[in-house]
Amino acid sequence: MMLERRERIRVVLMEDHDSIARAVAGRIATVIRERNGQGFQAVLGLATGSTPIGVYRELIRLHREEGLDFSRVVTFNLDAYYPMNRNSPHSYVRFMWENLFEALEIPRENVHFLDGSVPRDEMERHCQWYEEAIREAGGMDFLLLGIGRSGHIGFNEPGTPRESRTHLVFLDSITRADAASEFFGEDNVPLEAITMGIATIMDAREIALLALGEHKAAIIRRAVEGGIHPDVAATYVQNHPNATVYVDPPAGADLTRVATPWVLGEVEWTPRLETEAVIWLSQQVGQSILRLSTKDYRDNRLSSLLARYGSAGPLNGEVFNRLISKIRGKSKLPTGRRILVFSPHPDDDVISMGGILRKLVENENHVTVAYQTSGNIAVFDHDVRRYLDFLERGESVLGARSDGVREKVAEIRRVLARKVPGDVDIPDVQAIKRVIRETEAVSALENVGLGVERARFLNLPFYQTGKVRKDPISEADTEILLRTLEDVEPELVFAAGDLSDPHGTHRMCLEAIRQALQAHTGPPPEVWLYRGAWQEWTVAEATILVPLSEAELRQKILAIFKHQSQKDKAPFPGPDEREFWQRTEDRNRETADLLARLGLPAYYAIEAYVVEQDGQLLENPLVSTSSLGGEG
């Protein structure tokens, strides 16, 4: 499919996070080998955060398994919070050593960081030193960038001039809100940061900008299709002679060639693309599907689609019937089957599929809910104190006085009083937080008609770091899931398909499920993917649409309310400021409202699901599966 592109920079749209990691790490490896082969050190500029983690893990694999040598590699980190002690759990120095450098045998003297502990009156001199160190190293051969929702690269916030060099900057409110989960609250996020400037970034001989997740979709479109403007620092990269933007399908969803490719030229029509085009046209002209006219198609660059059907009527009817066939009320849902619901955290099940859960129970299915992680880091310390207080006050009522318990409670109170935001909890506190999440999950299940015996708390090892950063999925994680599959022998499996959660836990949980399903020797179950906490399937994407009445949606929200530790203000809300119950209510209502505008039956709310086929989340003909992707 050859399309005109509106992108002003080379954009590679790849199938998933891992594909991007392999491609970018492979390019870095090539740069290292080429520069070393020429007798020079390879100089890398490196970013932090969740986006480049996959790249760093792949570089470690290349070092361990393919002998990629880092002894003649020099690195410069892109930015640093200010003020920030390098030993802080939030320090980028600590981040880089824990996630990359410790495994690479790289000389310590070759690693350079901006120092968040420099006195303010020495800041200008420190920034000049950093610039000089980069020049003395010969300049950066390769620079890895992420992008913020405000379009910042490094910490170059809106308004940063093109000629800026390494400098101290005040952080934008969007940037601080997005960093809140790392710091256990926005109030704990530093107000300032030190960053390479735009001119410093543009001096790099090669740039790779990475974006993952649907929350980056809007800014990616602005950064690569919009004009260059100081309000979106990433647009400056359009003028770089050797820059590539790597995006996964969610991050690339708003690109014109993905969202509305028919406006760019001839496309290869598929049923999915036809459905998307007709839905788009209906919204463009404000008419229901069955009222779209031949003129509507011709006036909106859809003549080639119209030609496939001869006139508007047959096309309208085809798409209308496709959509209405997706709708499944209770009578069309599974009955009397063994169903296993995997929930990444102890609330994702009711947030995303609380409506269908009740319907499945009422249809006399044997439903088991397996919570993959404890979710314990998402519990505030004040909740622990509240339960400790309950324990102390309840002793006299329960007749369970114990000096050992009192001593333990007192010890935990002392630990919490000394704790600094972001510190790793002691094992006892982690365990209490785990139990809090478990009791909430059981209460929520009772609200949808399931007893405690239907809950399984798997507590997968990859999550048990006590930190925001998790370990990679291991054989131990897969083995636990495999045993669960073998024990339940499900005919139908539900799993989370919303992969834009801030720290990648949903993505990792889905990865582990797929590995377990591949190793499972029993009959392969049907797999339904749900969304809700972080995003929702579109009507065109969805395979199945499940209507909910007003009472059913209210019951679902009441189940979400049972997760009291996540109510009012969750520790990790992500970029969406709404509470989880508000997100699910709005998304379910919006899906129903869209169907009504398209001329389909008017329901109160709708949950959406995708039936996975052959282990593939979605089929997208515009996604590249090669190491370098397409052209820009």
What is the set of active-site residues? 157
Q: DSSP E strands: which ranges in 491-561?
A: 492-496, 526-530, 544-548
Closest CA to 548 of 604, 589, 473, 496: 604
Asked whether 290 and 316 are in contact (CB, 8 A), the reply is yes
Asked whether 548 and 358 are in contact (CB, 8 A), the reply is no
Question: What would the two tokens of residue 563 be?
Answer: 């997760």
DSSP-assigned letter for residue 619: -
Helix (H, G, I), strand (E, B) or coil at 150: coil
Q: DSSP E strands: which ranges in 48-131?
A: 73-77, 79-82, 111-112
Angle at 212 between CA 208 and CA 215, to 5 degrees: 130
Look-up of token digits 């979400």: 560
Closest CA to 497 of 529, 533, 525: 529
- Work out the burial of residue 45: count CB atoms within 10 Å of its CB; fewer than 13 is exposed, 13-18 middle, 19 or more buried: buried
Rounded to an integer, what distance in angstroms lies between the CA atom of residue 117 and that of residue 563? 39
Tell me how many helices (H) and strands (E) the chain has: 20, 17
Angle at 169 between CA 168 and CA 172, to 5 degrees: 160
Asked whether 236 and 163 are in contact (CB, 8 A), the reply is no
Look-up of token digits 């900057």: 169
Rounded to an integer, what distance in angstroms lies between the CA atom of residue 572 and that of residue 562? 17
Rounded to an integer, what distance in angstroms lies between the CA atom of residue 9 and that of residue 134? 26
| Run of H or E residues at 392 | helix 381-398
Which amino acid is residue 599, in one-letter code?
G
Asked whether 589 and 557 are in contact (CB, 8 A), the reply is no
- The β-bridge partners of 245 are 11, 209
Helix (H, G, I), strand (E, B) or coil at 106: coil
